[in-house]
A and B are shown apart, each in its own frame.
Chain A
Amino acid sequence: MLKDLINFTNSLPDNFKSLGAIPKEGLHILLQVDDKGNLNTKSDNIQFGFYSKKLKDELSDVLEKCKRLQENAWCVNTNKCFDLPMKAIQSCSPICVAFKKEHIQGGVKYEANSEKGKPQIQERFSDYFDKAESMLTEDEILKKVFLNFKAFFENKSWEVVLNDIENQRDAQFQILSNKAEALKERQKSVSDKTEKESLKQQITDSQTQMASFQPLTDSDYILFYLDFPLETYKTTHGKYLGDKLFNTDKYNTDPNEEGLIYGTNDFQNGYNANMPFLMHQTATFDITGRISNLEAKALFEFSNVLPRKNLPNPLPIFIYNEEFKEKVIAVYSEKRISFTEIVKELYNVYKDDFRNYYLLNWSNTQNGIVFNDFDFVSQFQFEVGGTNNGLQIENLFNLYEDGKPKHYPINTNIFQLEEKVLKYLVQNKYHRVDYFSDFKKEDYESRDFTFLSFCKYRKAIYDYVYKSNRATIHGKQFDELVFNGIKDDLHNSSEYGIKHKLNIWYSLHKYFHKSNTKTNDNMANKLKEHQNFVAQLIEETAETALATDNDFAFAAGQVIYYLMNKSKSEDNSLRLLEPYMQKSNCRELQLTITKDLERYKHENFSRNFSKVVAFVLAHNTEENVKNLHPELLSGLFSDNQLYSNHNKND
């Protein structure tokens, strides 16, 4: 897994890796350095910029620059910063210092430290610089400026600079605030609509500008950078990363002749001494594997790229076809694109290249990136039901939509099948399906069986659609998905839902059952056969001795529907079907029908009904009636043939 992620990261262009990176929220201060290595702390020479996610403006040049410097001066995680155990200074560079406002005078943490007698940040700067010193190169200017930068913090000059900047910002904020107030006053006195609108716009503009000068909050960072080239930042940060990219440096090997160090991986990995369960107690080895520092760096970059969401999720990682890999990465660079869109965009031209990839699914959580699934896909299959034909759902149960017979579009690709069929069968009340989140029963209110399907088959559906793992859903699973949905529809009296699912079941039965049975049975034809059988019963031409249990169940469904319509009860919901659906024995089902016949004996029954009910009550089978539910439900919800001349008032 790691090797493939490393190769993938190395194939990403550098500018793509920093695409979507944003500065830390807060005040970024860029200090100038002269040729002799002295800091220039005159107000005019200090550049600064404030960044907040709420500001919609494009980044200023200063912030753009600071963003890149910050990327190359930050700690891997706070457990690996120089300011342990306080973890307040989160930069890890000899030429950058960053901390949150809460740690300086007036801040929450500052007060807390005072109360507990802990050392304040001011007292910890010298420790920070002592550790940062080892990141220096042989550059004499850099060494000199480092000493000046250290003194700048130790003698509190940074506070003077910060105060000066805060005063400047405050003044700007006041000017804009006064301007906004004046505009508001004027707006009140103006009656002309056009002018009012114009003033309103000006007020909004002023308020937007004010946001750039708003006072710093406790959660804002304060970042001091020395204005050195990015390369210097990369070099010094590289020294920091050298061992910090490993989980621990305890198992690092000595650098080999190429300078490679092998150590324990830190990516998606923890060697927590508090969890002996993770440690192999009797194995030959102490740790299970090492990676090189270059590989660790690639994984670190990958973990930074993922949360920026420039890569699709799930992410296909093609492993062999270099030319195709480049094409896909070029697409990522152009725009944010989902896996589905990549397939739709590239599949037609590069069909044969959609093979041999790892599919990574992850979530961005409070605790960072969490992997949900990582699996190899030999070949992606986009089309369903043959290249030209697709899968047609037929309207066999005469559903109407907007007064017209419902029309189902043909599903030609796997994503249409996912959306229209597979997701539909497991979706929650918000019509959503999340393949990897925690189960939330409350989203499936009064849809218990659908929730069961969701829990049982969501991973199977994901594998079926995104990994072309056709072994995960066969006829048995498909039947269960459909009929779990129907059971919920019965409970909720949704006749439309039942008929829709029966349409899907009959139309796609062959598609999902083909690999098991290899028969050419077309279920849509089966429905016609059942209907013909009932018609023959009515015409008294049916060979009842040859009738199958499926014919019986279908005819029983027709009878039950007819009887239900005789009910004058106010409750005409499908719950009346419950007594029938609970029977597993043929005889018990017949007895239930007989009881209902007696209940409605005062009603008129059509001749058609009498002929069919005679057959239903005479049929004998040892088959469990629950296994015949598909046909029973088909009989219930297909056009009822038992009314004379289709007159429902009969």
Chain B
Amino acid sequence: MQLISFDLQSNFGFFRKPETNNTLNVSYNMIHKPALLGILGAIIGLAGYRKKGELPEYYEKLADLKIGIAPLDHDNGNFSKTPIKYSNTVGYANKGTNFLTEELTLISPKYRVYLLLDEAIETQRRLLDNLERGNSEFIPYFGKNEFTAWWDKQSVIKHNYTLAALNENESVPILSLFAKNQNITKNSELAEVNFLGAWESDENPFMYFERLPVGFNLNLMQYQLEEMVFSNYEIMNAHTLPNLYHLLTENRYVQLH
């Protein structure tokens, strides 16, 4: 198993929140797992949506892949956004009426993606190979095909890692987004930021919250959402977080889900 990271970026991004579509359409600020799986699928040439009632090939082959996401060049976790207005007047789209819409689009989104890859699995081996060579079968994009995404092959890093083994109440820095709502069975305390910890950075301390898709609810066929957190504070009770990996060289942690 290899734990790798690479930096994925675009000039713009729009990861549509499906819940509204009148006037302003809003985007997730963070790329989320289902969208990222689509991009990874594009990199190795897996098919996307084809037919009602059928899951796309990339989701079927990559859904179990463990991934972690961290924003780069952000402002307290946030990317700048700008509203872009579109008018669509083509007949096939609108049956004769004009379609006007506005999308709150991310400006220069950039993410560090962590992947736990099993080279024994062919698709994952191919993915690693393509990432390292900077190759992609289809053009990856951030939500809309005009927002082409790319990565620099030099940004692909193989990390020395181990599954985190933390003591109770030990505060650790977590590089990636992590899920806030954990299914705690034995531990009564949730992971939370350590406000009392010493602050020795030039950055402002912050916490960023976003309810993000982590997969699909296959019964209702809609996104399954989970509350995610990104913070530069150290995190208390991190031992309660599942799938936390220790990056040995950086002495930092990432959660892969």
Q: Say whether B220 contacts A290, CB under 8 Å.
A: yes
| Chain A residues whose CB sits within 8 angstroms of the CB of B52 once the complex forms | 282-286
Counting contact residues on chain A (CB < 8 A from B), the size range is: 35 or more
B165 close to chain A: CB less than 8 A? no
Q: Say whether B80 contacts A471, CB under 8 Å.
A: yes
Q: Digitize B73-113: 1 where CB-to-A-CB distance is under 8 Å, 0 elsewhere.
A: 01111101111000010001111110100001000000000
**CB within 8 A of A288: which of B82, B222, B225?**
B222
Residue of A nearest to B81 (CB): A375
A267–B21 Cα distance when bound, in Å, is: 9
A107–B92 Cα distance when bound, in Å, is: 41
Q: Digitize A284-320: 1 where CB-to-B-CB distance is under 8 Å, 0 elsewhere.
A: 1111111100000000000000000000000000011
| Chain B residues whose CB sits within 8 angstroms of the CB of A86 once the complex forms | none
A274–B92 Cα distance when bound, in Å, is: 10
Q: Digitize A348-367: 1 where CB-to-B-CB distance is under 8 Å, 0 elsewhere.
A: 00000001100000000000
Counting contact residues on chain B (CB < 8 A from A), the size range is: 35 or more
Residue of A nearest to B231 (CB): A378
Most A C-beta atoms less than 10 A away, residue of B50, B81, B82, B207: B81
A623 close to chain B: CB less than 8 A? no
Q: Say whether B93 contacts A262, CB under 8 Å.
A: no
Q: Say whether A274 contacts B18, CB under 8 Å.
A: no
| Chain A residues whose CB sits within 8 angstroms of the CB of B93 once the complex forms | 275-277
Taking CB atoms and an 8 Å cut-off, the chain A residues in 242-258 that contact chain B are: 253
| Chain A residues whose CB sits within 8 angstroms of the CB of B206 once the complex forms | 355, 378-379
Q: Digitize A370-381: 1 where CB-to-B-CB distance is under 8 Å, 0 elsewhere.
A: 111111111100
A374–B92 Cα distance when bound, in Å, is: 31
Q: Say whether B51 contacts A275, CB under 8 Å.
A: no
B72 to chain A, nearest CB (A): 13
A634 close to chain B: CB less than 8 A? no
Q: Say whether A376 contacts B29, CB under 8 Å.
A: yes
Q: Say whether B54 contacts A284, CB under 8 Å.
A: yes
A109–B221 Cα distance when bound, in Å, is: 46
A472 close to chain B: CB less than 8 A? yes
A270 close to chain B: CB less than 8 A? yes
A120–B30 Cα distance when bound, in Å, is: 55
A201 to chain B, nearest CB (A): 49
Q: Say whether A280 contacts B49, CB under 8 Å.
A: yes
Q: Say whether A378 contacts B76, CB under 8 Å.
A: yes
| Chain A residues whose CB sits within 8 angstroms of the CB of B83 once the complex forms | 372-373, 459
Q: Say whether A284 contacts B56, CB under 8 Å.
A: yes
**CB within 8 A of B19: which of A1, A319, A356, A378?**
A1
Q: Say whether B20 contacts A275, CB under 8 Å.
A: no
Residue of B nearest to A320 (CB): B209
B100 to chain A, nearest CB (A): 10
Contacts known (A277-B99, A283-B49, A472-B80); A268 close to B207, Cβ less than 8 A: no
A393–B20 Cα distance when bound, in Å, is: 45
**CB within 8 A of A278: which of B21, B49, B55?**
B21
A356–B192 Cα distance when bound, in Å, is: 14
B204 close to chain A: CB less than 8 A? yes
| Chain B residues whose CB sits within 8 angstroms of the CB of A2 once the complex forms | 19-20
B210 close to chain A: CB less than 8 A? yes
A374–B75 Cα distance when bound, in Å, is: 16
| Chain B residues whose CB sits within 8 angstroms of the CB of A375 once the complex forms | 29, 78, 81, 104
Taking CB atoms and an 8 Å cut-off, the chain B residues in 195-212 that contact chain A are: 204, 206-211
| Chain A residues whose CB sits within 8 angstroms of the CB of B56 once the complex forms | 284
A569 close to chain B: CB less than 8 A? no
Q: Say whether A277 contacts B21, CB under 8 Å.
A: no
Q: Say whether B23 contacts A356, CB under 8 Å.
A: no
Residue of B nearest to A463 (CB): B80
Contacts known (A356-B209, A379-B76, A469-B75); A268 close to B222, Cβ less than 8 A: no
A276–B94 Cα distance when bound, in Å, is: 6
| Chain A residues whose CB sits within 8 angstroms of the CB of B221 once the complex forms | 284-286
Q: Say whether B50 contacts A275, CB under 8 Å.
A: no
Most A C-beta atoms less than 10 A away, residue of B20, B81, B208, B223: B20
B64 to chain A, nearest CB (A): 18
Q: Say whether A378 contacts B207, CB under 8 Å.
A: yes
Contacts known (A378-B207, A459-B82); A274 close to B97, Cβ less than 8 A: yes
Q: Say whether A275 contacts B99, CB under 8 Å.
A: yes
Contacts known (A284-B221, A379-B76); A277 close to B81, Cβ less than 8 A: no
A507–B22 Cα distance when bound, in Å, is: 44
A475–B50 Cα distance when bound, in Å, is: 48
| Chain B residues whose CB sits within 8 angstroms of the CB of A468 once the complex forms | 76
A395 close to chain B: CB less than 8 A? no
| Chain B residues whose CB sits within 8 angstroms of the CB of A577 once the complex forms | none
Residue of A nearest to B16 (CB): A288
B8 close to chain A: CB less than 8 A? no
Taking CB atoms and an 8 Å cut-off, the chain A residues in 429-460 that contact chain B are: 459-460
A427–B51 Cα distance when bound, in Å, is: 52
A503 close to chain B: CB less than 8 A? no
Residue of B nearest to A278 (CB): B21
A6 to chain B, nearest CB (A): 11
A269 close to chain B: CB less than 8 A? yes
A222 to chain B, nearest CB (A): 32
Q: Say whether B94 contacts A275, CB under 8 Å.
A: yes
Q: What would be 20 A-B contacts, judged by CB atoms less than 8 Å apart?
A: A3-B211, A265-B20, A268-B20, A269-B19, A276-B93, A277-B94, A284-B54, A284-B56, A289-B222, A291-B19, A355-B206, A373-B24, A374-B26, A375-B29, A376-B208, A376-B209, A378-B78, A379-B76, A467-B78, A470-B75
Apart from A372-B83, A376-B77, list 20 A-B contacts with CB within 8 A. A1-B20, A1-B26, A4-B211, A253-B220, A262-B220, A274-B95, A275-B95, A277-B93, A277-B99, A282-B48, A284-B55, A285-B222, A289-B19, A289-B220, A370-B23, A370-B24, A371-B24, A375-B104, A378-B206, A469-B75
Query: Interface residues, chain B, CB within 8 Å of chain A?
Result: 17-24, 26, 29, 48-56, 74-78, 80-83, 88, 92-97, 99, 104, 204, 206-211, 220-223, 225
